[in-house]
A and B are shown apart, each in its own frame.
Chain A
Amino acid sequence: MMMWQIIKNEWHFLARNRVLLGISFGFVGILFLTVYLGNLQTQEQAQRYQTAQTHLRQQWENIEEMNPHSAAHYGTYVFKPTCLLSGLDEGVNSITGNVLRVEGHVQNEIVHSEASQMQAISKFGKLKSALLLQYIIPLLLIFLAFQSIYGEKQGGRLKLLLLQGTHLTQILVAKTLSVCLYGIGLLGLTISVYVLLNLNSINTDILGRTALLFLSYSFYYFILSGLTVFFSARWENTNLALTSMLGIWIVWTIFLPNVLMSSVERWHPLPSREAFKTAMKEDRSKGLDGHNPADKRSKALEEKVLKEYGADSLAQLPINFDGIVMQEDEEYGNKVWDEHFGNLRKALAEQKQTYQLGGLINPFISLQNTSMGFAGNDNLHHQEFLVQVENYRRVFIKTLNDKHAYGGSRTGDWSWKAGNDFFRSVADFEYSPPVLSSVFSHYVFDIILLLFWGLLTAILLIFGTKKMSIL
């Protein structure tokens, strides 16, 4: 009850402070603008994506007639769609490519990132809500909290409160909560506006993600507010409390994420593109060559198929052996891609796990991970998109190869063409963003670390201020 009274008093004090009120209104305005702009940009990008995707599908459906294998080379393109929560936290989206070619014989990489289309602008990304919520609001909370206990000490109110029977811990926790709630209020407003703007597209998954995003930021705001209140209580000098927290802010948000991420890539190195490609090419060359009938492995397959159909020569086969060779070539290639791209994904996962450990010394890292993760825009979601495209590619190429083999043509007849109906029947790529329940486990450690830091802050507030001077 007393704690609630202190919180209420703090809020009354904050509401009476015109400067703070002005700053708060300004902040709310900027946050609304950020949400609006973020949303607008996501819509613009989604519109462009839709136009491009429709254009490409039309091109595919307009194929009058074509040899299925020529169609596999003609291929199609997949564009990376924007996620609804991109407006809040864009994550890695501007860095990763946007266009992925889907064709026979090869698993391509996604190219043409937004960042590569212009000169450098902002090292910390676009003006998304995440930028304000991760960098600016924490600073505001520090400025609000650094004088909270010292100011009470200076004015003699702390002594008065203690004489009235309030426990010191209650005062510290109440001060922390009052500042933290200010941040949570701004966060809540941001998310509410975002939800309102996108009411038609909200589903339970998005709501769940938004709720977890909200929780992660709330924990972080509690940690920062609590630490600042702790320093305000411990240090004999208010400037020291402020400069200590500013130092922590600099190290946590600007210095450590960069250093740790660069170090992590050294500890779990990725292959160079040249080494990666050369190794795949070498492994690929060990399989059969779909375009070379004289290849030894093609000959072995030929014998097997002839035996299967009880034929003496390819000409006697009721099917087109070329299509079978092409698919066999694909199957072998798929094994090679799985191994090499699998190793790459493994190395990236190891990097991520090691980086997550950084949350032990820096809760900002855990916040960043959960923020872009729950927004569906971290590397994990990006890799999931790539895997889905590759799975689609395999089905897409197999459909074409099967048509080539069993569609009515005979071996060696490269002039045979499938009709428009067939090409229309080939399904287009549809991305299913991973549901929260399937990826949640990847962020449990980050949440535990945020909880750990929250607990540590509470312990500091309760036990670390026992010997503080109250005069």
Chain B
Amino acid sequence: MKNVTLFLYEWKHFIRNPFKVMAILLFIMASVYGLHNGADLYHEQKAEVKKIEQRIKGDRQKIIKEHYQKGNLVPENRPWIDYSTPFWALWYASVYHFKNPSPAMVYSIGQAEQYGFYKRITFRASPYDADLAQEIANPERLQTGTLDFSFTLLFLAPLVLLVLLYNLKSAEIEQGFMPLIEVQNPSKITWLLSRMGFYAVLLFLVIAGLLFYGAMLTRILAGTGNAFRDMLLYSFIYLVFWSVLFFFILLKGKSILGNTLQMTGIYLLFTFIIPATVHQLLSIRQPANLMTDLIDVRDQQEELYSQPDSVFQAQLNELFPAIVSSPVYKDSSKRKLAMNRSASALINELKKASIQPIEKDKQVKNAFVRGTFWFNPISFFQNRFNAIAHTHYDDYQSYRDEIQALVDSQVRKMVLDTWHDVKVDQEKFSKYQKMSVE
């Protein structure tokens, strides 16, 4: 009962300290600003996806109207194009793959601004094409980092907690009240815990309220609400982590100055020094990949073209055994053109092979980062929040994998339909679009 009284009495301490009230208000303002930043990016990306979808729809309709419906399959001004062939029909099918933003982006922008979220899929595409580049942004802004909710939670919440707690117990010691308090409270730990508990609960309630506000901005709760639940859970664990650290400092500390110094030191250690050291060590161990493996495909491609037709054909046959029984394979007059058009399939294989060491390099880097989580909790929580918001590296890696799968599928379709001499009409053209998108 006494502890509950202590807990409730702390409210009076709190409201009488304008510095602490200001800290909470500043935190709320920063968080609301951060939530709106996240929500704005979510809405911007959604609008961009919609805009591109509309443009694609228009492009496709134009081709259907001008070429398939009018029967003008070989345009006069571009005689090398033939819309009745799978090669050109697929090329102009304007297939895009999107990484639709998650409503949970409101909580953490994460790495969303470092990657593209839409990509044109063709049989010549690759998940490392330049058109998958990030949105145009000021590099200095990206370097400073956008103030999103996860930033306020990760970096400002511990500071707010520091401001709320820094003088607990030490103020009583400095003012000489401690012996009196010890007489009234047999357990110093319970007394401190009750007082600390008030601020921890207060901050958690503020965070929960902010999470709820964020959920309203992008209608997270209209879905499964898992993101809201997970954010609440991890915010709680994060707050407990800092509370435990600060509790031990306060328990052992005897002066306000000493406590402030130690709490600030711990804060700097976990938020600045450890993540920055890990980052630096990783950069020395694995410097930025300059993608020369991928660039080398250019020469491999030249070598591919210079091979005798028989070798080229054998490679194609191995990749697509169905070619051997196709009508074009048996027709020598059409075989050369089909072979040329099928080159994309072999180049796709070359690209995939060259991407492997790059992906491996990235896996090593990410494994290194994960291996530091046990002593680098801020990076752990940062990546957890990003994962909840679907703005984590892994989400973009999955997106790249999906792109590769779609490219493979389009390559397969283009090669097999070319060798089976498929004539593309309006219906088939529409199927090509759906085939790739699904």
Contacts of A117 in B (CB 8 A): 288-289, 361-362, 365
Report if A127 contacts B (CB, 8 A): yes
A122 with B143, Cβ < 8 A, contacts A112-B290, A272-B135, A344-B136 known: no
A40 with B295, Cβ < 8 A, contacts A52-B290, A136-B272 known: no
Residue of B114, B151, B290, B394 near A258 (CB, 8 A) is: B151
Interchain nearest-CB distance for B100 vs A (Å): 15
Chain B 235-254 against A: per-residue CB contact (8 Å), 1 yes, 0 no?
Answer: 00000000000000000000
Contacts of B77 in A (CB 8 A): 292, 294-295
Q: Flag if B287 contacts A123 (CB, 8 Å).
A: no
Determine chain A's interface SS by DSSP, over half rule.
helix
Q: Flag if A121 contacts B143 (CB, 8 Å).
A: no
Contacts of A276 in B (CB 8 A): 136
Q: Flag if A121 contacts B272 (CB, 8 Å).
A: no
Chain B 382-408 against A: per-residue CB contact (8 Å), 1 yes, 0 no?
Answer: 110010000011100000000000000
A117 to B114, CA, bound (A): 10
Contacts of B379 in A (CB 8 A): 120-122
- B interface residue numbers (CB < 8 A to A): 19, 22-23, 26, 30, 33, 37, 44, 48, 51-52, 55, 77-78, 110-111, 114-116, 118, 128, 130, 133-147, 151, 154-156, 159, 163, 166-167, 256-257, 260-261, 264, 268, 271-273, 275-284, 287-292, 295, 298-299, 302, 361-362, 365-366, 369-370, 379, 382-383, 386, 392-394
Chain A 138-176 against B: per-residue CB contact (8 Å), 1 yes, 0 no?
Answer: 010001000100000000000000000000000000000
A114 with B283, Cβ < 8 A, contacts A124-B276, A265-B137 known: yes
Interface size on A, residues (CB 8 A): 89
A111 with B282, Cβ < 8 A, contacts A116-B115, A120-B379 known: no
Report if A128 contacts B (CB, 8 A): yes
Q: Which of A94-102, A212-220, A458-466 contacts B (4 or more CB under 8 A)?
A: A94-102
Q: Flag if A44 contacts B287 (CB, 8 Å).
A: yes
Tell me the A311-367 residues at the B interface (CB within 8 Å). Answer: 344, 348, 351-352, 355
Q: Flag if A123 contacts B382 (CB, 8 Å).
A: yes
Q: Flag if A121 contacts B138 (CB, 8 Å).
A: no
A240 to B22, CA, bound (A): 14
7 A-B residue pairs with Cβ-Cβ distance under 8 Å, sorted by A, are: A117-B288, A119-B383, A122-B276, A123-B271, A124-B276, A265-B137, A272-B48
- A interface residue numbers (CB < 8 A to B): 37-38, 40-41, 44-45, 47-49, 52, 55-56, 59, 74, 77, 79, 91-92, 94-99, 101, 108-109, 111-128, 131, 135-136, 139, 143, 147, 238-240, 242-243, 246-247, 250-251, 254-255, 257-259, 261-262, 264-265, 270-274, 276, 278, 292, 294-295, 344, 348, 351-352, 355, 368, 372, 378-379, 382
A116 to B400, CA, bound (A): 12
